[in-house]
Amino acid sequence: MTLLAVPLLVHDPAKTLADAARAAEFGADLVEYRLDPYEGDPAGLARLVDRSPLPCLVTCRAGWEGGTTDRPEADRLERLRAACSGSRRPAYLDVELAAYQRDPAFRDGVRALVDGDGPGLILSSHDFKTRPPTLYQALEAMIDDPYCRVIKLAWFARSLRDNLEAFEILRQDYKPAIALCMGEFGLPSRVLAKKFGALLTFAALDRASGTAPGQPTLAEMKSLYRWDAQRESTRVYGVIGYPVGHSMSPPVHNAGFTAADYDGIYLPMPIPPEYEHFKATVGAWLDAEWFGFRGASVTIPHKENLLRFVRDRGGEIEPLSVQIGAANTLTVEEGGQLRALNSDYAAVLDSVCDALSIPRDALAGKRVAVLGAGGAARAVVAGFAGHGAAVVVYNRTIERARELADAFNGRTGNVAAAALDRAGDSCCDVIVNCTPIGMHPHVDATPMPAELVKHWGPGTVVFDTIYNPIETRLLREARAAGCVTIPGFEMFVRQAATQFEAWTGQPAPLDRFRDTLRTRLSAS
């Protein structure tokens, strides 16, 4: 069983014990007492271990390895001794491999503490800058040391690919091990530690108390990343983009997996711009079949890269995605076959059809105004034009509007282009805002002046692709004018539902998606 460990810096043992009790209450299995900041009476450390509400791991981390003390090895050993001198033993003792190797007195002292029925010895090596060139030398030394019960290797990930190396170390099963990557690219190694059989992973008690870059909180591990549901067989999904730190997709999809009792975990997957990064990372994840990578939502700046990648690998691309020139969903079948599709246009079409209570076929002949000519607009134009609607693209940069119109005009519907400031002239059944005007925090902005919106009558559908805020100024004014309004919230939920169904083969729990997104947006 992989333990969920909460690290606690010990300044005041009474406060640390209260924090440890909170960690126990929130479902941690172990606490790490970091003795390095402690300046008090050594007897306080024995009492801390004796009264610990959870089994504990004790560390006195040196400053040169990411800790907070510059005391010499002999002093650090004294503190470890003090922590082991009570009536209960810590479960584990963590010391730096470098100090253990270079200082015979420190090594002998540590060995004396862990000998017999003493705590299990964790030998550890950390690099807070990069993946160290000496990683495998450190690993071998830990494997060879007869006293070392647990290997711990932690380094700052250079890209998502570093996580695979951490999982490889765990998979080799030399000894019980902890292999963690730090920083924004290291999250998979922390969250998926259980899938790959690590001894433990660390989770901060709260946002303010993390001890390493990229460490998630206990609450995130438990509720956002489905810690308790994770198994060896768990399939891995995520949102690929850059940046993806604020994406709403992880909470929405993980809530969906929980509602459907589906064996999957969904993670943020930051991949820097440029095709080479996308190809190298996604390629490596697919080639490591044991990793269990089964699909992804793909967002800016990689939507075009997804098409190229799936084409290069001989996968299948949905025809409308080819016309749009971008896809946002990757599905990896059991045999490794790849599929790319675009779930954005379907989300918009289905939201509008539901609001008007019409089938998709009845969109033929409808007049649609699309504001904006970027990636979202392209999917919306392709969807409506592909179903026979007459579309006008209004954009600030008229050349981009023309380019988009030319790409789809005459395929099935008519597509024309005009300047954004002419949008008020339009006489349409459906208006779709695909610009970011009105998006949080610029919530007072609108792509259409209120006096023009007033003339749109009941029966006109106004769709804003923006999902934060849920009701934009454009939608508020359109609702006041009697229009049917649809928030981008609905587009987000439905495009996520199409992805969920493509991955799981099950109907998406739409209400759970809506509740989760609403809760997240109101907290943001």
Question: Which residues are near ligand NAP by CB under 6 A?
Answer: 344, 372-377, 395-397, 400, 420, 434-437, 439, 465-467, 488, 491-492, 495
In the three-class reduction of DSSP (H, G, I as helix; E, B as strand; rest coil), residue 353 is classed as helix
From the list 194, 195, 277, 303, the catalytic residue is 303
> How far apart are the C-alpha atoms of 38 and 56, rounded to whole Å?
16
Nearer to ligand NAP, 338 or 373 (CB): 373
Residue 195 among the catalytic residues: no
Which residue is associated with the tokens 């765990």? 170
Termini Cα distance of the chain: 35
Closest distance of CB 373 from ligand NAP, Å: 4
Task: Report in angstroms the alpha-carbon separations of 274 from 199, 300, 353.
Answer: 36, 11, 37
Cis before 441 (ω within 30): yes
Give me the DSSP letters along 261-322: T-SEEEEEEE--SSHHHHHHHHHHHHH-GGG-EEEEEE-TT-HHHHHHHHHHTT-EE-HHHH
Nearer to ligand NAP, 38 or 503 (CB): 503
Is 152 part of the annotated catalytic residue set?
yes
CB 395, min distance to ligand NAP, A: 5
**Token output for 148:** 């070392």
Kindly state the helix (H) or strand (E) to which residue 248 belongs, with its residue range.
none
d(CA 327, CA 91): 50
Nearest position to ligand NAP, beta carbon: 374
Options 126, 194, 195, 302, the catalytic residue:
126
Active site residue 173: no
Is residue 391 a contact partner of residue 419, using CB atoms and an 8 Å limit?
no
The answer to whether 363 and 413 are in contact (CB under 8 A) is no
491: Cβ contacts below 8 Å, ≥ 6 apart: 344, 347, 348, 351, 463, 465, 467
Output the smallest distance, CB 431 to ligand NAP, in A.
Answer: 14
Q: Name which of 211 and 254 has its Cβ closer to ligand NAP.
A: 254
Q: Nearest distance from residue 248's CB to ligand NAP, in Å?
A: 9
Written as one letter, the residue type at 111 is R
Pick from 320, 282, 326: which is nearest to 304 by CA? 326
| Residue with Cβ nearer ligand NAP (22 or 396) | 396
Strands (E), 50-175: 56-59, 92-96, 120-127, 148-156
Closest separation in Å from C-beta 21 to ligand NAP: 42
Question: Considering 152, 194, 253, 387, which one is annotated as catalytic?
Answer: 152
CB of 345 to ligand NAP, least distance (A): 10
Measured from the CB atom, is 30 or 491 closer to ligand NAP? 491
The C-alpha atoms of residue 59 and residue 61 are separated, in whole angstroms, by 6
Q: Among residues 367 and 400, whose Cβ is nearest to ligand NAP?
A: 400
Of 237 and 492, the one with the shorter C-beta distance to ligand NAP is 492
Please, what is the minimum distance in Å from the beta carbon of residue 504 to ligand NAP? Answer: 20
Residues with catalytic function: 126, 152, 303, 344
